[in-house]
Amino acid sequence: MKQRLQLLASLGAPLMIALAILASQHREGRERSQALPPLMVGSGLIISAAVGRRRHRTRLLEALQLSRQNRV
C-alpha cells in the first residue's frame, strides 16, 4: 500500500505538467495563461527533487570519504 502511494506521489509532478500542456492546447487566446501555474509548479517540483537528490548524494560521498580517511 505504501509503495503505491509513493508511486502515485512520484508521478504527480510529471502528470501535472502533461495536464497543463494538454490544457494549453485546448484553450485559446488569454485563457492559455491559465495553464501556466500548474506547468510552473510541476517543473519546480521536479527541479527541486533533482537538486535535493544531488545534495544528498554529495553529502553521502563526503561522509564516505571522511570515514575512509579516518580509517587510514
Say what the pTM is: 0.77
Q: Give pLDDT, residue 3.
A: 86
Q: Specify the number of domains making up the chain.
A: 1
Q: Give pLDDT, residue 66.
A: 94
Which triple of cell numbers denotes residue 53?
537528490
19 exposure class (CB count in 10 Å sphere: 0-12, 13-18, 19+): middle
Q: Give pLDDT, residue 5.
A: 86
Instruction: Show the domain range for 13.
Output: 2-71
Q: Which residues of the chain have pLDDT under 70?
A: 72
